[in-house]
Structure 1
């Protein structure tokens, strides 16, 4: 059994934990650069995401995805782009018939003992998985840390259910 955690978005990440809660793999969200007007933008690649999810879900798994919404101060176009990325993820997970649990940031962060600060997620991930601390050392690695903590949330839910 594997436990997947997904921090959605074009700069998100996907983490895979083993049955004992250790890190098996961490992947940045598969993305491509597209030209929008005169600038390049990062967008989720549905094809690459689908390929990756098929590869990492070759055995039974439970997927925990952050249940997100728009962000305060976010432009309409940014909110639409983020929503599209979430829809692409949901479409791939549904097509692969994977069991998915959506968890609000407040719920999984409280369970992880952290506040909303992304730096706290990185610190928690480095503390929980010191052998993999290199995956979380940069500020931009916060999404990886959050994906790992989301996977851990799913793993802990199963551990509690088994113990009950």
Structure 2
């Protein structure tokens, strides 16, 4: 069984982790060249390539929700469109889908700030660096794919797939 982790968004990623061997790979989500949107067909084909029907796959998708201060209606609409395209690609593969909220999978890796009156909340850059550090430690063979700060989507896709592997088996 191949665990497929998806960090949604135009700068998101998809990761594949083999349940039996732990072997992993990670890719940026394919972008449609003309429309600057996720290419659903290319994503479905990528999932089928790395999780053939004979092996099987299970998709773990980070579940998004609207949040206060999270951008305007246009930004939220674009994100929901992206999630819709991803869900369509998953439907085409016929793989089971598990949606997981960020707090659930991040807690597994110690990436959630503990509430405290004396602790300063981490910045976005610090949170992204934390995801990269954990992914590099778990998957040292993929360090070249996780070398840049902007590879945080790849790191999170890997961690979502890993979370699926260790908690949903």
State the 1:114 CA deviation.
1.3
Structure number with higher strand proportion = 1
Partners of 1:81 and 1:22 in 2: CA distance: 34
Report the number of matched residues. Answer: 153
| TM-score, scaled relative to structure 2 | 0.83
- 37, 59, 63: which is aligned to 2:59? 63
What is the CA RMSD across the aligned residues, in angstroms?
Answer: 1.7
State the 1:112 CA deviation.
1.4
Q: Deviations over 1:125-154 (max 9, x none)?
A: 011112221211111100000000000111
Q: Which runs of 5+ in 1 are unaligned?
A: 36-41, 160-164
- 123, 131, 136: which is aligned to 1:126? 136
Specify whether residues 73 and 102 from structure 1 end up closer, same or farther in structure 2 by C-alpha distance, changes over 3 A only.
closer
Partners of 1:98 and 1:69 in 2: CA distance: 23
| TM-score, scaled relative to structure 1 | 0.85
State the 1:61 CA deviation.
1.4
State the 1:22 CA deviation.
2.5
Partners of 1:55 and 1:113 in 2: CA distance: 32
Partners of 1:53 and 1:19 in 2: CA distance: 15
Specify whether residues 120 and 21 from structure 1 end up closer, same or farther in structure 2 by C-alpha distance, changes over 3 A only.
farther
Partners of 2:3 and 2:24 in 1: CA distance: 9
Specify whether residues 111 and 21 from structure 1 end up closer, same or farther in structure 2 by C-alpha distance, changes over 3 A only.
farther
State the 1:53 CA deviation.
2.1
Partners of 1:149 and 1:61 in 2: CA distance: 16
In the alignment, does 2:143 pair up with 1:147?
Answer: no
Aligned to 1:162: none
Aligned to 2:9: 9
User: Structure 1 segments of 4 or more deviating over 4 A?
Assistant: none
Q: Deviations over 1:41-83 (max 9, x none)?
A: x311122122212222212112111011235341211111110
